Amino acid sequence: MLPIALLAIFVPTTISSNLSGLQPSVTPGTAMLLGLGVFVLALVSFWGQLAVTALAIDPAQGRQASQLATRRFPAALLLMIVMVVVGIVLMIPVGVILAVGGIDLTTLEGSAMPDIPPSVAPWVFLYFLVLLVLGCWVMARLAVVIPSVVGDRLAIGAIARSWRLTRGIALKIVGVLILYVIVSIVANLAATTAFGAVMYLVAGRGEEGISLASVLTTIVGGAVSTGFTVLGTAFLAKLYIALLARHEAAATA
């Protein structure tokens, strides 16, 4: 598992962070190429997570885990695309609310936050609150969707599979996921902030976009991020095994 974590998760994550740091200081064409590189590296990292999942489900697979990850990659990618599309569709009501409130959506630039009129601000907040609560619950019900893709050789059907396996334990999974997110964010911020501050003092900020200090900081951040990625991926795979055993035991009872 260590070679996969290093080559397929740590290296792409670190390089991607450095490429993202270069984007604001280059021409639009170069920034687009860098963005494409970041996207490709994200796909490599996603493949690495599939390989880690395969190994966590069946450690005896050894090198065959990478072959299984390659075979299941198209199905897993299709599933992720479907889920992203659903997420985008769920954001459409926000645009409708803002448009009704008199905001011209065509004038919005980049990530700039629009001035939301007081008349629609409560509705936007309420929608996001409901979306957050439902999102946490749905994420819990779909917690083992990727292990289902790898272990059960499913594609879109992995959604229904995960939904059945997680019935009755969604709240427990939500608690674990929230704890995982909080700990991983705090650990990553602590590592990059503390180490980054020291490196910027020692090596200086250097040229705009990238420097020795920023590269070393992204390496440390990548190491922490890789550790939590492998931990979370392996945990979900083991959870899938436990839920599968529970489901089979209930079916034969």
Q: Which helix (H) or strand (E) segment is 54 a member of?
A: helix 28-57
Buried b (16+ CB within 10 A) or exposed e, 144-164: bbbbbbbbbebbeebbebbbe
Identify which has the larger pLDDT, 36 or 96. 36
Q: What is the pLDDT of residue 111?
A: 54
Helix axes of 121-141 and 170-203: crossing angle, nearest 10 degrees: 110
pLDDT band at 222 (very low <50, low <70, confident <90, very high): confident
Residue 50 has pLDDT above 90, yes or no: yes
Residue 233 has pLDDT above 80, yes or no: yes
Residue 150 tokens, joined = 């790898």
What residue spans define the domains of the chain?
A: 2-252
